[in-house]
Structure 1
Amino acid sequence: MELPRYFINHTEHLPDVYIKKYESKTNSTREKISLTHHLISFIIEGKKELIHNNTSQSVPEKHYILAKSGNCLMTERCSTNEKYSSFLIFISDSFLDRLSNKYNTKIDFSKEYNYSNAFITLTFDDFIKYYLESFQEIISKKETSKEIIEFKTEELLLYLANNKKINLYQLFQVQKNRQFKNSIENNIFSELKLEEIAFLCHMSLSTFKRTFFKIYNTTPSRWIQEQKLEKSAYSLRYENKNPTEIYYEYGYKSLSSFTQSFKKKYGVTPKKYKTR
């Protein structure tokens, strides 16, 4: 089952934020779920059993889950009242990107946290209780605008980032980071300019640099130079290549500039490094 597509007409475009109040009076069997959006699932009544990225957990009512996009297994169990009820918020990468860019001076998205699992579980507090009441009051109307839904979702994410100290970008963006890294690492040794690599990543140069620093904890130019020097050292030592053969291959315009950069990192010239 692909979520949130399962709840939406297949001819419709998937929105950046999709909300759903889900209720059932029967226990579900274990379902194979493909999350194309990240998920925040509030368990109002009953419990959910989730297996995601080889981690399993039973989540009781009055708790909520923040789960990354990807494949997982889900089971829903009714309460003693024979009812399961949850409130679901599906969030796209692009929505999180806009949030990060909008509040980058107020939220430290670069701070490192160790999110080893694909999801985390939190308990309802007073804010969440009131938040759900207000949100459900809004969606009880026949028509709810996209702007209101996104505004309420933004409110929740800001609360999680500021009050629960959850690095939403790091928690949710694993798949996107992998795609971003692939775009970078496939073009390390090309002659492309940073502006051109940013374009291939569908980003402005400023957004590209911010995203790069969040992932690699250094600037693009420093990281790329380090990678080129490490690769050139490998070529000298293990591929028996000469400095004159590789300096241009690794993006240096002259042998002297390559020699200077190499010596600064390794303490010896490329020629001496090869023979020692």
Structure 2
Amino acid sequence: MPIENIPEIYIRDKKKNSDLFAYDFKMTNNVVKSKVNLGMNMFSFLQVGKKQVHFAGKSVAVNKDQSLLLKKGNWLWTELLDTEAIYYCKLFFFSEKKLTDFLSKYNNDIKPYKEDVPYFVIENDDYIASFINSLSSIALAGDSYSDALLSLKFEEIMLYLLNKYGNKFEFYLHSLISKEISPFKNVIESNVDFNLKLEEIAFLCNMSLSTFKRHFTNEYNKPPGKWLQDKRLQKAKELLQGGKLKASDIYLDIGYNNLSNFSIAFKNKFGISPKDISS
């Protein structure tokens, strides 16, 4: 699956280097785990459909009652139609420069803030619905005043969310301008419980599959496929020992396409079949 560079693929005037960009995104087919290189921080104001994203070990899912603010970087996006025949969201991109200028203007005491979560979930309300509608009007206008209006809209939504969420949102904004990158091991070990393929984890590490495998083996002294299988089977054992779940409930989440293959792998590792684990 090719990597989509966003927002670059949406920008018609390639010579224009804007710090703010709004785009109406619509689709009529489900997209699962598409590889996205997000070149700017982005608001995703979801209006119809469901969205799930993975980023360096973190995962979040939202519906039309919520919106997301996402940190720039490599993401895996899943976008699903709901009861409607179309998926629709308003995307609002902003650069680090625009964010730094905003924080300098409204917060004179900027401090580096380490935040492991690369997204912020926003609960939609009437004010945000009104904001989205006004943003659509500006984005479609395309006149000489659009940039100035977008700057005002950017400040408006930022100030509103600071007022709504307080320090929690302010701390998140500071984390967006941090240059700290998640260590390789943190990305790997945070993804153990997600049913991601090796090439998807490699993408989140910003590596080719071959480079990822080589780097992984150097770090863990074991091939990534074998290491992940052992970790996920151990997780399966813990879940089964809890007594509330059966093998048929968990094999897909552990990364197996069918129950039979899972049972064989489980017995090979632990010497006992999954159905006997809690007996």
Q: Fold conserved (TM > 0.5)?
A: yes
Q: CA contact under 8 A between 1:37 and 1:69: conserved in structure 2?
A: yes
> How far off is 1:59 after superposition?
1.1
With the length of structure 2 as denominator, give the TM-score of the two structures: 0.57
Amino acid across the alignment from 2:173 = Y
Is residue 23 from structure 1 mapped to residue 26 from structure 2 by the alignment?
Answer: yes
Partner of 1:34: 37
Partner of 1:172: 176
Matches within 5 A, 1:85-96: 85-96=88-99
Amino acid across the alignment from 1:170 = H
> 3-state SS of the aligned residue for 1:81?
coil
> How far off is 1:111 after superposition?
8.9
Match of 1:4 among 2, 7, 11: 7
Larger Rg computed on CA atoms? 1
Matches within 5 A, 1:69-88: 69-88=72-91
Amino acid across the alignment from 2:44 = S
Q: CA contact under 8 A between 1:37 and 1:92: conserved in structure 2?
A: yes
> How far off is 1:142 after superposition?
4.6
RMSD: 2.1
Relative to 1, partners in 2 of residues 1:136 and 1:11: Cα closer, same or farther, differing over 3 Å?
A: closer
Partner of 1:196: none
Partner of 2:131: 131
> 3-state SS of the aligned residue for 2:32?
coil
Deviations 1:11-54 (A, max 9, x none): 32331011101111111132111111101101100011100121
Question: Aligned equivalents of 1:99 and 1:119: distance in 2?
Answer: 19
Partner of 2:157: 156
Question: Aligned equivalents of 1:16 and 1:137: distance in 2?
Answer: 19
Question: Aligned equivalents of 1:10 and 1:133: distance in 2?
Answer: 24
> 3-state SS of the aligned residue for 2:151?
helix
Partner of 1:119: 119
Amino acid across the alignment from 1:115 = E
> How far off is 1:83 after superposition?
1.0
Query: Where does structure 1 lack aligned partners over 5 or more consecutive residues?
Result: 179-276
Using CA pairs under 8 Å that are at least 6 residues apart, name the structure with larger relative contact order, 1 or 2: 2
Q: CA contact under 8 A between 1:42 and 1:87: conserved in structure 2?
A: yes
Q: CA contact under 8 A between 1:50 and 1:73: conserved in structure 2?
A: yes
> How far off is 1:116 after superposition?
2.4
Q: CA contact under 8 A between 2:100 and 2:177: conserved in structure 1?
A: no
Deviations 1:67-107 (A, max 9, x none): 111111001101211210000011101101111222225xx
> Percent of pairs identical after alignment?
25
Which range moved further: 83-92 or 95-104? 95-104
Deviations 1:218-270 (A, max 9, x none): xxxxxxxxxxxxxxxxxxxxxxxxxxxxxxxxxxxxxxxxxxxxxxxxxxxxx
Matches within 5 A, 1:1-276: 1-9=4-12, 11-105=14-108, 109-110=110-111, 115-143=115-143, 145-165=146-166, 166-167=169-170, 168-175=172-179
Runs of 4+ in 1 over 6 A off after TM superposition: none
Relative to 1, partners in 2 of residues 1:19 and 1:36: Cα closer, same or farther, differing over 3 Å?
A: same
Relative to 1, partners in 2 of residues 1:9 and 1:25: Cα closer, same or farther, differing over 3 Å?
A: same
Which range moved further: 136-145 or 164-173? 136-145
Deviations 1:100-155 (A, max 9, x none): 222225xx64496x732111212102221121122223334353521101110111
> How far off is 1:9 after superposition?
3.6
Q: CA contact under 8 A between 1:109 and 1:169: conserved in structure 2?
A: no
Query: Where does structure 2 lack aligned partners over 5 or more consecutive residues?
Result: 182-279
